[in-house]
Structure 1
Amino acid sequence: MQAVDQTVELVVLLDESGRPIGSAPKSTMHDADTALHLAFSVYVFNERGEVLVTRRALGKRTWPGVWTNSFCGHPLPDESQRRAIARRGRFELGLDLDELTVALPLFRYRATDASGIVENEICPVYRATVHTDPVPNPDEVSEYVWTDPETLRASALSSPWAFSPWMVLQLKELRFDA
Protein backbone atom coordinates (compact mmCIF):
# COMPACT_ATOMS: atom_id res chain seq x y z
CA MET A 1 0.00 0.00 0.00
CA GLN A 2 1.36 3.42 -0.87
CA ALA A 3 2.11 6.01 1.79
CA VAL A 4 -0.14 9.06 1.89
CA ASP A 5 1.46 12.49 1.96
CA GLN A 6 -0.55 14.14 4.74
CA THR A 7 -0.03 17.62 3.24
CA VAL A 8 -1.99 16.77 0.07
CA GLU A 9 -4.47 14.27 1.47
CA LEU A 10 -7.96 14.89 0.11
CA VAL A 11 -11.28 14.47 1.90
CA VAL A 12 -14.60 13.65 0.21
CA LEU A 13 -17.11 16.51 0.35
CA LEU A 14 -20.79 15.57 0.76
CA ASP A 15 -24.14 17.20 0.12
CA GLU A 16 -26.79 17.21 2.84
CA SER A 17 -28.05 13.82 1.64
CA GLY A 18 -24.59 12.29 2.03
CA ARG A 19 -23.79 12.09 -1.67
CA PRO A 20 -20.22 12.89 -2.77
CA ILE A 21 -19.97 16.28 -4.49
CA GLY A 22 -16.21 16.72 -4.78
CA SER A 23 -13.08 16.78 -2.72
CA ALA A 24 -10.86 19.26 -0.92
CA PRO A 25 -7.39 19.14 0.61
CA LYS A 26 -7.59 17.97 4.22
CA SER A 27 -5.27 20.82 5.15
CA THR A 28 -7.96 23.35 4.13
CA MET A 29 -10.70 21.66 6.13
CA HIS A 30 -11.52 21.96 9.81
CA ASP A 31 -11.93 25.67 10.31
CA ALA A 32 -14.81 27.80 11.60
CA ASP A 33 -16.97 26.88 8.59
CA THR A 34 -16.08 23.25 7.84
CA ALA A 35 -17.93 21.72 4.90
CA LEU A 36 -19.77 18.43 5.41
CA HIS A 37 -17.39 15.59 4.58
CA LEU A 38 -16.96 11.83 4.89
CA ALA A 39 -15.07 10.25 7.78
CA PHE A 40 -15.05 7.11 9.94
CA SER A 41 -14.49 6.19 13.59
CA VAL A 42 -13.15 2.84 14.76
CA TYR A 43 -13.32 1.08 18.13
CA VAL A 44 -10.66 -1.63 18.40
CA PHE A 45 -11.16 -4.57 20.78
CA ASN A 46 -8.63 -7.10 22.05
CA GLU A 47 -9.11 -10.80 22.90
CA ARG A 48 -10.17 -9.90 26.47
CA GLY A 49 -13.06 -7.76 25.20
CA GLU A 50 -11.36 -4.51 26.17
CA VAL A 51 -11.65 -1.47 23.94
CA LEU A 52 -8.64 0.63 22.92
CA VAL A 53 -8.97 4.30 23.84
CA THR A 54 -6.39 6.83 22.66
CA ARG A 55 -5.42 10.31 23.73
CA ARG A 56 -4.99 12.64 20.78
CA ALA A 57 -1.50 14.09 20.40
CA LEU A 58 -1.06 17.63 21.67
CA GLY A 59 -0.01 18.74 18.18
CA LYS A 60 -3.36 17.75 16.61
CA ARG A 61 -5.24 20.66 15.05
CA THR A 62 -8.61 19.63 16.47
CA TRP A 63 -9.28 18.48 20.01
CA PRO A 64 -5.62 18.09 20.99
CA GLY A 65 -5.00 16.09 24.15
CA VAL A 66 -8.52 14.69 24.55
CA TRP A 67 -9.30 11.00 24.94
CA THR A 68 -11.16 9.45 22.04
CA ASN A 69 -12.05 6.19 20.32
CA SER A 70 -9.26 4.01 18.97
CA PHE A 71 -8.78 6.00 15.76
CA CYS A 72 -10.56 8.09 13.14
CA GLY A 73 -9.88 9.22 9.63
CA HIS A 74 -11.15 10.17 6.21
CA PRO A 75 -11.33 7.97 3.12
CA LEU A 76 -9.60 9.39 0.07
CA PRO A 77 -11.64 9.95 -3.10
CA ASP A 78 -12.32 6.55 -4.71
CA GLU A 79 -10.98 4.70 -1.64
CA SER A 80 -13.25 2.24 0.13
CA GLN A 81 -13.97 2.71 3.81
CA ARG A 82 -12.30 -0.65 4.56
CA ARG A 83 -9.10 0.31 2.76
CA ALA A 84 -9.06 3.73 4.44
CA ILE A 85 -9.58 2.15 7.86
CA ALA A 86 -6.75 -0.31 7.27
CA ARG A 87 -4.50 2.56 6.13
CA ARG A 88 -5.27 4.73 9.18
CA GLY A 89 -5.01 1.82 11.61
CA ARG A 90 -1.47 1.17 10.42
CA PHE A 91 -0.56 4.87 10.24
CA GLU A 92 -1.87 5.94 13.65
CA LEU A 93 -1.39 2.78 15.70
CA GLY A 94 0.75 0.33 13.73
CA LEU A 95 -2.18 -2.12 13.80
CA ASP A 96 -3.39 -4.62 11.26
CA LEU A 97 -7.06 -5.25 11.99
CA ASP A 98 -8.42 -8.80 12.13
CA GLU A 99 -12.18 -8.25 11.85
CA LEU A 100 -14.12 -5.16 10.88
CA THR A 101 -17.88 -4.68 11.24
CA VAL A 102 -20.14 -1.65 10.94
CA ALA A 103 -21.62 -0.57 14.28
CA LEU A 104 -23.33 2.75 13.43
CA PRO A 105 -23.63 3.13 9.65
CA LEU A 106 -25.44 6.49 9.67
CA PHE A 107 -23.65 8.40 12.45
CA ARG A 108 -23.42 12.13 11.76
CA TYR A 109 -22.31 15.00 13.97
CA ARG A 110 -21.21 18.62 14.05
CA ALA A 111 -19.09 19.97 16.92
CA THR A 112 -16.94 23.01 17.65
CA ASP A 113 -13.76 22.82 19.72
CA ALA A 114 -12.47 25.46 22.15
CA SER A 115 -10.45 27.20 19.40
CA GLY A 116 -13.53 27.56 17.16
CA ILE A 117 -12.64 24.78 14.73
CA VAL A 118 -15.68 22.86 13.51
CA GLU A 119 -16.00 19.17 12.70
CA ASN A 120 -18.89 18.43 10.35
CA GLU A 121 -18.94 14.79 9.32
CA ILE A 122 -20.96 11.86 8.18
CA CYS A 123 -18.93 9.33 10.07
CA PRO A 124 -19.86 5.64 10.04
CA VAL A 125 -18.62 3.88 13.18
CA TYR A 126 -16.85 0.53 13.01
CA ARG A 127 -15.82 -2.17 15.44
CA ALA A 128 -12.53 -4.01 14.84
CA THR A 129 -10.50 -6.68 16.60
CA VAL A 130 -6.76 -7.17 16.97
CA HIS A 131 -4.42 -9.65 18.60
CA THR A 132 -1.52 -7.23 19.18
CA ASP A 133 -0.92 -4.04 21.12
CA PRO A 134 -0.62 -0.75 19.26
CA VAL A 135 2.60 1.05 18.43
CA PRO A 136 1.30 4.64 18.33
CA ASN A 137 2.51 7.29 15.91
CA PRO A 138 3.44 10.12 18.33
CA ASP A 139 2.18 12.75 15.88
CA GLU A 140 -1.29 11.22 16.21
CA VAL A 141 -1.52 9.54 19.61
CA SER A 142 0.11 10.63 22.88
CA GLU A 143 -1.01 7.62 24.95
CA TYR A 144 -3.46 4.76 24.99
CA VAL A 145 -5.24 2.40 27.35
CA TRP A 146 -7.26 -0.81 27.03
CA THR A 147 -10.41 -0.54 29.14
CA ASP A 148 -13.73 -2.17 29.85
CA PRO A 149 -16.30 -0.79 27.36
CA GLU A 150 -18.94 -0.04 29.99
CA THR A 151 -16.38 1.73 32.18
CA LEU A 152 -15.47 3.86 29.16
CA ARG A 153 -19.13 4.68 28.51
CA ALA A 154 -19.71 5.68 32.16
CA SER A 155 -16.57 7.86 32.20
CA ALA A 156 -17.38 9.62 28.93
CA LEU A 157 -20.98 10.30 29.87
CA SER A 158 -20.10 11.59 33.35
CA SER A 159 -17.12 13.74 32.20
CA PRO A 160 -17.77 14.58 28.53
CA TRP A 161 -15.32 17.51 28.55
CA ALA A 162 -12.38 15.05 28.80
CA PHE A 163 -13.37 13.15 25.66
CA SER A 164 -13.93 13.92 21.99
CA PRO A 165 -17.49 15.06 21.30
CA TRP A 166 -17.95 12.44 18.58
CA MET A 167 -17.04 9.63 20.97
CA VAL A 168 -19.42 10.90 23.65
CA LEU A 169 -22.25 10.98 21.09
CA GLN A 170 -21.29 7.57 19.69
CA LEU A 171 -21.21 5.97 23.13
CA LYS A 172 -24.83 7.00 23.66
CA GLU A 173 -25.79 4.81 20.68
CA LEU A 174 -23.18 2.01 20.57
CA ARG A 175 -23.90 -1.49 21.82
CA PHE A 176 -20.83 -3.36 22.98
CA ASP A 177 -22.48 -6.75 23.36
CA ALA A 178 -23.02 -7.20 19.62
Structure 2
Amino acid sequence: MTSDELVVLVDEEGHAIGTARKSSVHGQETPLHLAFSSYVFDHDGRVLLTRRAAHKVTWPGVLTNSCCGHPLPGEPLDRAVTRRLSYELGLPAAPADLMLPAFAYRAVMGNGVVEHELCPVYRVTVDALAVPNPDEVGEALWLPWKEFVDGVLSHALAVSPWCAEQVPLLMELGPDPLAWTPADESGLPPAARVSHGAG
Protein backbone atom coordinates (compact mmCIF):
# COMPACT_ATOMS: atom_id res chain seq x y z
CA MET A 1 0.00 0.00 0.00
CA THR A 2 1.35 3.41 -0.84
CA SER A 3 0.87 6.39 1.45
CA ASP A 4 -1.55 7.87 -1.10
CA GLU A 5 -4.03 5.01 -0.71
CA LEU A 6 -7.08 5.41 1.48
CA VAL A 7 -7.91 3.73 4.77
CA VAL A 8 -11.38 3.40 6.27
CA LEU A 9 -12.08 5.54 9.34
CA VAL A 10 -14.50 4.08 11.88
CA ASP A 11 -16.34 5.13 15.02
CA GLU A 12 -16.12 3.28 18.35
CA GLU A 13 -18.94 0.92 17.25
CA GLY A 14 -17.08 0.00 14.07
CA HIS A 15 -19.22 1.93 11.58
CA ALA A 16 -17.42 3.55 8.65
CA ILE A 17 -17.38 7.34 9.00
CA GLY A 18 -15.14 8.26 6.07
CA THR A 19 -11.70 7.71 4.60
CA ALA A 20 -8.28 9.29 4.97
CA ARG A 21 -4.96 8.98 3.21
CA LYS A 22 -2.73 6.39 4.85
CA SER A 23 0.02 8.98 5.20
CA SER A 24 -2.24 11.05 7.46
CA VAL A 25 -3.43 8.41 9.91
CA HIS A 26 -0.29 7.43 11.80
CA GLY A 27 0.79 10.28 14.03
CA GLN A 28 0.18 11.62 17.51
CA GLU A 29 -3.55 12.06 16.83
CA THR A 30 -4.22 8.80 14.98
CA PRO A 31 -7.94 8.32 14.29
CA LEU A 32 -9.53 4.91 14.80
CA HIS A 33 -9.38 3.04 11.49
CA LEU A 34 -9.95 -0.40 10.01
CA ALA A 35 -7.04 -2.82 9.68
CA PHE A 36 -6.24 -6.53 9.97
CA SER A 37 -3.59 -8.82 11.39
CA SER A 38 -2.76 -12.24 10.00
CA TYR A 39 -0.89 -15.28 11.27
CA VAL A 40 0.51 -17.58 8.59
CA PHE A 41 1.13 -21.23 9.48
CA ASP A 42 2.71 -24.10 7.61
CA HIS A 43 1.29 -27.61 7.77
CA ASP A 44 3.59 -28.46 10.70
CA GLY A 45 1.98 -25.71 12.76
CA ARG A 46 4.92 -23.34 12.63
CA VAL A 47 4.08 -19.64 12.54
CA LEU A 48 5.70 -17.18 10.14
CA LEU A 49 7.05 -14.15 11.99
CA THR A 50 8.30 -10.97 10.40
CA ARG A 51 10.53 -8.14 11.51
CA ARG A 52 9.14 -4.83 10.39
CA ALA A 53 11.37 -2.91 7.97
CA ALA A 54 13.66 -0.41 9.65
CA HIS A 55 12.11 2.56 7.82
CA LYS A 56 8.52 1.86 8.96
CA VAL A 57 6.77 4.79 10.66
CA THR A 58 5.32 2.56 13.38
CA TRP A 59 7.42 0.07 15.34
CA PRO A 60 10.33 -0.12 12.87
CA GLY A 61 12.54 -3.18 13.26
CA VAL A 62 10.16 -4.87 15.69
CA LEU A 63 9.30 -8.57 15.50
CA THR A 64 5.61 -9.19 14.90
CA ASN A 65 3.02 -11.53 13.42
CA SER A 66 3.13 -12.53 9.76
CA CYS A 67 1.45 -9.53 8.14
CA CYS A 68 -0.71 -6.53 8.99
CA GLY A 69 -2.40 -4.01 6.76
CA HIS A 70 -5.45 -1.98 5.85
CA PRO A 71 -8.30 -2.88 3.52
CA LEU A 72 -9.03 -0.46 0.73
CA PRO A 73 -12.49 1.14 0.86
CA GLY A 74 -15.00 -1.52 -0.19
CA GLU A 75 -12.45 -4.36 -0.04
CA PRO A 76 -13.37 -7.48 1.98
CA LEU A 77 -10.85 -8.06 4.76
CA ASP A 78 -9.96 -11.59 3.67
CA ARG A 79 -9.07 -10.25 0.23
CA ALA A 80 -6.94 -7.55 1.83
CA VAL A 81 -5.10 -10.26 3.79
CA THR A 82 -4.37 -12.21 0.60
CA ARG A 83 -3.30 -9.07 -1.25
CA ARG A 84 -0.87 -7.99 1.46
CA LEU A 85 0.60 -11.49 1.95
CA SER A 86 1.39 -11.54 -1.76
CA TYR A 87 2.90 -8.05 -1.71
CA GLU A 88 4.88 -8.29 1.54
CA LEU A 89 5.88 -11.97 1.54
CA GLY A 90 5.36 -13.28 -1.98
CA LEU A 91 2.90 -15.89 -0.75
CA PRO A 92 0.28 -17.38 -3.10
CA ALA A 93 -3.40 -16.86 -2.43
CA ALA A 94 -4.80 -19.12 0.30
CA PRO A 95 -8.01 -18.97 2.34
CA ALA A 96 -7.92 -16.41 5.16
CA ASP A 97 -9.90 -17.72 8.13
CA LEU A 98 -11.35 -15.17 10.55
CA MET A 99 -10.26 -15.88 14.13
CA LEU A 100 -10.70 -12.74 16.24
CA PRO A 101 -13.40 -10.62 14.58
CA ALA A 102 -13.59 -7.83 17.16
CA PHE A 103 -9.96 -7.28 18.14
CA ALA A 104 -9.05 -3.62 18.64
CA TYR A 105 -6.11 -1.84 20.22
CA ARG A 106 -4.39 1.46 20.77
CA ALA A 107 -0.64 1.67 21.27
CA VAL A 108 1.77 4.59 21.61
CA MET A 109 5.43 4.56 20.60
CA GLY A 110 8.09 6.28 22.65
CA ASN A 111 8.12 9.17 20.18
CA GLY A 112 4.36 9.69 20.56
CA VAL A 113 3.27 8.06 17.28
CA VAL A 114 0.01 6.17 17.80
CA GLU A 115 -1.58 3.09 16.25
CA HIS A 116 -5.35 2.98 16.81
CA GLU A 117 -7.11 0.21 14.96
CA LEU A 118 -10.09 -2.05 14.75
CA CYS A 119 -8.02 -5.02 13.67
CA PRO A 120 -9.70 -8.41 13.06
CA VAL A 121 -7.24 -11.30 13.13
CA TYR A 122 -6.96 -14.00 10.45
CA ARG A 123 -5.24 -17.37 10.09
CA VAL A 124 -3.74 -18.47 6.78
CA THR A 125 -2.18 -21.89 6.11
CA VAL A 126 0.36 -22.15 3.30
CA ASP A 127 2.76 -24.61 1.74
CA ALA A 128 5.19 -22.14 0.23
CA LEU A 129 8.37 -20.26 0.97
CA ALA A 130 8.11 -16.63 2.00
CA VAL A 131 9.97 -14.11 -0.15
CA PRO A 132 10.09 -10.91 1.95
CA ASN A 133 9.64 -7.56 0.24
CA PRO A 134 12.38 -5.34 1.75
CA ASP A 135 10.11 -2.31 1.46
CA GLU A 136 7.96 -3.90 4.18
CA VAL A 137 9.84 -6.73 5.88
CA GLY A 138 13.34 -6.78 7.32
CA GLU A 139 13.37 -10.49 8.13
CA ALA A 140 11.06 -13.49 8.06
CA LEU A 141 11.41 -16.62 10.18
CA TRP A 142 9.37 -19.68 11.11
CA LEU A 143 8.96 -20.78 14.73
CA PRO A 144 6.98 -23.61 16.31
CA TRP A 145 3.76 -22.04 17.61
CA LYS A 146 4.30 -23.19 21.22
CA GLU A 147 7.84 -21.83 21.26
CA PHE A 148 6.58 -18.50 19.96
CA VAL A 149 3.69 -18.34 22.44
CA ASP A 150 5.91 -19.26 25.37
CA GLY A 151 8.37 -16.55 24.37
CA VAL A 152 5.66 -13.89 24.10
CA LEU A 153 3.90 -14.83 27.34
CA SER A 154 7.16 -14.94 29.30
CA HIS A 155 8.31 -11.66 27.73
CA ALA A 156 11.47 -13.43 26.58
CA LEU A 157 10.47 -12.53 23.03
CA ALA A 158 9.81 -8.85 22.36
CA VAL A 159 7.02 -8.35 19.82
CA SER A 160 4.78 -5.53 18.62
CA PRO A 161 2.12 -4.37 21.10
CA TRP A 162 -0.77 -5.65 18.99
CA CYS A 163 0.86 -9.06 18.64
CA ALA A 164 1.43 -9.22 22.39
CA GLU A 165 -2.28 -8.59 22.96
CA GLN A 166 -3.42 -11.03 20.26
CA VAL A 167 -1.41 -14.08 21.34
CA PRO A 168 -3.26 -14.73 24.63
CA LEU A 169 -6.60 -14.39 22.81
CA LEU A 170 -5.50 -16.84 20.14
CA MET A 171 -4.35 -19.29 22.81
CA GLU A 172 -7.92 -19.33 24.12
CA LEU A 173 -8.91 -20.96 20.80
CA GLY A 174 -6.81 -24.03 21.63
CA PRO A 175 -3.20 -25.19 21.60
CA ASP A 176 -3.18 -26.32 17.94
CA PRO A 177 -3.54 -23.37 15.53
CA LEU A 178 -4.43 -25.67 12.65
CA ALA A 179 -7.46 -26.91 14.61
CA TRP A 180 -8.90 -23.51 15.52
CA THR A 181 -12.53 -23.06 14.54
CA PRO A 182 -13.05 -19.92 12.44
CA ALA A 183 -15.27 -17.20 13.88
CA ASP A 184 -18.56 -16.09 12.37
CA GLU A 185 -18.21 -13.05 10.14
CA SER A 186 -21.25 -11.51 11.83
CA GLY A 187 -18.83 -10.59 14.62
CA LEU A 188 -16.86 -8.27 12.35
CA PRO A 189 -17.17 -4.51 12.80
CA PRO A 190 -19.96 -3.16 10.53
CA ALA A 191 -17.40 -1.38 8.34
CA ALA A 192 -15.72 -4.72 7.62
CA ARG A 193 -18.88 -6.56 6.57
CA VAL A 194 -18.25 -5.92 2.90
CA SER A 195 -19.79 -8.12 0.22
CA HIS A 196 -17.34 -9.95 -2.03
CA GLY A 197 -19.39 -8.64 -4.93
CA ALA A 198 -18.48 -5.07 -4.00
CA GLY A 199 -15.42 -3.10 -4.94
**TM-score, L = length of structure 1:** 0.93
Looking at structure 2, the residues matched to 156 and 97 of structure 1 have their Cα atoms a distance apart, in angstroms, of 28
Matched-pair contact (CA < 8 Å) for 1:41–1:124: yes
What are structure 2's unaligned runs of at least 5 residues? 181-199
Tell me the residue number matched to 2:33: 37
Is 1:152 matched up with 2:148? Answer: yes
Tell me the residue number matched to 2:119: 123
Tell me the residue number matched to 1:23: 19
Identical aligned pairs, as a percentage?
A: 51
Indicate which of 56, 65, 69 corresponds to 1:69: 65
Tell me the residue number matched to 1:85: 81
Task: Give the ranges of 4+ consecutive aligned residues of structure 1 lying more than 3 Å apart after TM superposition.
Answer: none
Matched-pair contact (CA < 8 Å) for 2:151–2:157: no
**TM-score, L = length of structure 2:** 0.84
Deviation at 1:161, TM superposition (A): 7.5
Q: Which amino acid aligns with 1:40?
A: F
Deviation at 1:39, TM superposition (A): 0.2
State the superposition RMSD in angstroms. Answer: 1.3
Q: Deviations over 1:65-104 (max 9, x none)?
A: 1100000000011111122111111111011232321110
What are structure 1's unaligned runs of at least 5 residues? none
Looking at structure 2, the residues matched to 65 and 94 of structure 1 have their Cα atoms a distance apart, in angstroms, of 20
